[in-house]
Amino acid sequence: LASGSDLTAVSDAVRRRNPRGQGQRLREELLQAARDLVTESGDPQALSLGAAAKRVGIAAPSAYRHFPDARHLKIAVVRACFADLAHARSVAAEGLTDPGAALLARAHAYCRFALANPGLYQLMFGPDPQLPHELVYESGDSPGRAAFHDLAESIRTCQDTGVARITSDPLVLAATVWSLEHGMVSLRINRPHFPWPDLDSTLTEALTRLLDLQPPPPPHGQLHR
Amino acid sequence: LASGSDLTAVSDAVRRRNPRGQGQRLREELLQAARDLVTESGDPQALSLGAAAKRVGIAAPSAYRHFPDARHLKIAVVRACFADLAHARSVAAEGLTDPGAALLARAHAYCRFALANPGLYQLMFGPDPQLPHELVYESGDSPGRAAFHDLAESIRTCQDTGVARITSDPLVLAATVWSLEHGMVSLRINRPHFPWPDLDSTLTEALTRLLDLQPPPPPHGQLHR
DNA sequence: TGTACATCAGTGAACGCGCGTTCACTGATGTAC
DNA sequence: TGTACATCAGTGAACGCGCGTTCACTGATGTAC
């Protein structure tokens, strides 16, 4: 009722209704609000249609103009997160020629993403019957499944170039590597007060042993351990 | 209203009210009902005071005679689960003299427990601000922390006897091993439709490589791979 | 250029759901006298 | 041995909460004529 200038950054005081064709804009705002709710609370449960609507400054039923139901809002959030994670993983390996170094870089990027976005990570990888199969690793062309095969390929490359001297099936190894990454981050997320050892060095050492990785031809002589 | 003989297995028809001193019995029943709810649904969220009361056949407020609030019911369930897990782990290693074999046996027992009780496992190891620190790994004398130090000791023994040839800090190694176990089971729980490789052989191979385990003096010649 | 109208973004009230929790109570069981 | 009473296990009704969802609506914006 009282004119508040603290709600919207740009517009004057009251929320300006979106012009004709731009219902899209509110959709984006809802999506972002939902992400922020989870990010800020660190709790996947914090994602709800009503809370997102409230945060954007509209009444809850208005959200139904943009999402058929609450489930689809969640799906949209998770889909965006998978895209972000894939991006972070590929950016991390950019310019790295040694396949072992690239593999390690992607693994660290995965963990960094998880620890930086614990709530969203739990949303992506937690159990959730609401999320459709094609999104979360269940079906063949899901973004998560693509990342998994990417990891397996990356391991195969290491094997082919002699960087990884282990000879097991790369798909089986990929499952183990992914399990290790997931276990490390999800335990750290779930038990924040436990005296965890440094993740970076622990992960590097574990992957090196698991895959029998050879250090790259040292440019300067910088080695682990 | 109609006399149903299908509710209680032993007593005649209607629930017999517990005699004077035996309020304890209902407490046990509530605890078991809560466990069953989670076990049967596989969903930690299924644990609620009301649902447990309903399952036992009493009105919801009656549960307050036995638990101060819903949180304490959950705590009691988780406490019992930790005891079960510890028991399963120690039973699995009974009679095994080779420290490497004992370590592997306990690891497999951990995973078997998790996959057999996915709902309860998530309750124990999922993020849950409701659970008190002294129960879930945060404080020094929690049952989970005890299990962790047990694992570290087990690794140290392997090192001392030459069964594990890796020289890193056993506490750090324990964190890695636990992460691997947790990752393997929690991903399998969360993504049941993913084509996971066999857990037993994968885990054995991964632990063998991680700790550089030497096979025990073969009684018959049975080796992995 | 002006007016009448269709479109559509957003609203307010209301419902049912399961949850946790409170309150004053009922009534069988055991005990004191 | 009998009766009056205290104890205490369990009840029913009620509340507030946040959730998802429906419904008929309002009213500004753009367009057709």
Q: DSSP alpha helices (H): ranges in B64-128?
A: 70-92, 99-116, 118-125
Q: Which of B136, B172, B187 is opposite residue A179, by nearest beta carbon? A: B187
Cβ within 8 Å, pair A175-B197: yes
B158-215 pLDDT tens trace: 999 999 999 999 999 999 999 999 999 999 999 999 999 999 999 999 999 999 999 8
- Amino acid letter, residue B54: K
Give the residue with greater pLDDT, A15 vs B184: B184
Among A191, A194, A34, which Cα is nearest to A120's?
A34
- Is B181 close to A182, i.e. CB distance below 8 A? no
Q: Which amino acid is at B155?
A: I
> What is the model's pLDDT at position B5?
35
Mean predicted confidence (pLDDT) in A23-49: 94
The per-residue pLDDT for B74 is 97
A122 has a chain B CB within 8 A of its CB: yes
Contact of B110 with chain A, judged by CB distance below 8 Å, is answered with no
Of B57, B4, B64, B8, whose CA–CA distance to B33 is shortest?
A: B57
Own/partner contacts of B9-16, CB < 8 Å, gap of 24 or more, are: B15/B57, B15/B58
Read out DSSP for A53-106?
HHHHTS-GGGGGGT-SSHHHHHHHHHHHHHHHHHHHHHHHHTT--SHHHHHHHH
Question: What is the predicted pLDDT for the residue at A19?
Answer: 56
Q: Inspect the interface and report whether the beta carbons of B133 and A193 lie closer than 8 Å.
A: yes
CB-count burial class (<10 Å; 0-12, 13-18, 19+) for B69? exposed
Stretch A40-54: mean pLDDT, rounded?
A: 96
Evaluate if residue A47 carries a pLDDT over 70.
yes
Phi, psi of B35, deg, nearest 5: -60, -45
Q: Compute CA distances B148 → A49, A152, B143, B181, whole Å.
A: 40, 31, 9, 12
Burial classification of residue B142, based on how many CB atoms lie within 10 Å of its CB (0-12 exposed, 13-18 middle, 19 or more buried): buried
Residue of B nearest to A186 (CA): B183
Query: According to the model, what pLDDT value does residue B48 have?
Result: 97
- Residue A187 forms contact with B (CB below 8 Å): yes
Contact residues, chain A, for B169 at CB < 8 Å: 197
Q: How far is the CA of B68 from the C1' of D13 (A)?
A: 21
> Tokens for B94?
């009974």
Smallest CA–C1' distance to D23, residue? A61
Phi, then psi, of A65 in degrees rounded to 5: -70, -20
Enter the tokens of residue A53.
Answer: 């609507």
Q: Is B183 on the interface with A (CB under 8 A)?
A: yes
Q: Which A positions 147-166 lie with beta carbon below 8 A of chain B?
A: 166
Q: Is B175 on the interface with A (CB under 8 A)?
A: yes
Q: CB-side exposure of A97: number of CA atoms within 13 Å?
A: 4
DSSP assignment, residue B191?
A: -
Give me the pLDDT at residue B2, please: 35
Higher pLDDT, A23 or A164: A164
Cβ–Cβ contact A206 with B under 8 A: yes
Out of A125, A168, A183, closest to residue B179 by CB: A183
What is the pLDDT, as a whole number, of residue B218?
Answer: 66
Whole-number pLDDT of residue A13: 33
Q: Straight-line distance from CA B63 to C1' C30, in Å?
A: 23
Mean pLDDT in chain B?
Answer: 88
pLDDT of the residue at A45: 96
Q: For chain A, what is the mean pLDDT? A: 88
**Residue A29 clears pLDDT 80, i.e. is over it:** yes
% of chain B surpassing 70 pLDDT: 85
- Which residues in chain A, range 43-72, keep a C-beta under 7 Å from any nucleic strand D atom? 48-51, 60-61, 64, 69-71
> Cβ(B166)–Cβ(B105) under 8 Å?
no
C-alpha Rg value of chain A to the nearest Å: 21
* Per-residue pLDDT at A140 exceeds 80: no
The 8-class DSSP code of residue A161 comes to: T
On whether any CB of chain B is under 8 Å from the CB of A197, the answer is: yes
pLDDT surpassing 90 at residue A222: no
pLDDT for residue A12 is more than 50: no
DSSP H helices, B131-222, are 143-160, 170-190, 199-211
User: What's the pLDDT tens digit per position in B96-149?
Assistant: 999 999 999 999 999 999 999 999 999 999 999 889 887 877 677 889 899 999
**CB within 7 A of strand C: which residues qualify?**
A 15, 17-18, 20-23, 26, 57-62, 65; B 17, 19-20, 48-51, 60-61, 64, 69-71
User: Distance, angstroms, CA A19 to C1' C24?
Assistant: 58
Give pLDDT tens digits for B25-73: 899 999 999 999 999 999 999 999 999 999 999 999 999 999 999 999 9
Q: Gap from A48 CA to D15 C1', in Å?
A: 24
Q: What pLDDT does residue A23 have?
A: 62
* pLDDT at site A219: 62
Residues of B in contact with A181 (CB under 8 A): 183
Q: Give the nucleotide nearest to B63 (CA→C1').
A: D10
- Cα distance between residue A57 and residue A16, in whole Å: 11
Helix-strand-coil split of chain A, %, nearest 5: 60, 0, 40
| Confidence band of A157 (pLDDT split at 50, 70, 90) | very high
Whole-number pLDDT of residue A180? 98
d(CA B125, CA B41): 17
CB atoms inside a 10 Å sphere around CB B214: 15
The pLDDT of residue A217 is 72
Q: Are A88 and A109 in contact (CB under 8 A)?
A: yes
What pLDDT is attached to residue A218? 66
Q: Measured between CA atoms, how close is B55 to chain A, in angstroms? A: 24
pLDDT digits 0-9 by tens, A183-206: 999 999 999 999 999 999 999 999
Taking 90 as the threshold, does the pLDDT of residue B91 lie above it?
yes
Q: What is residue B135's predicted lDDT score, i.e. its pLDDT? A: 84
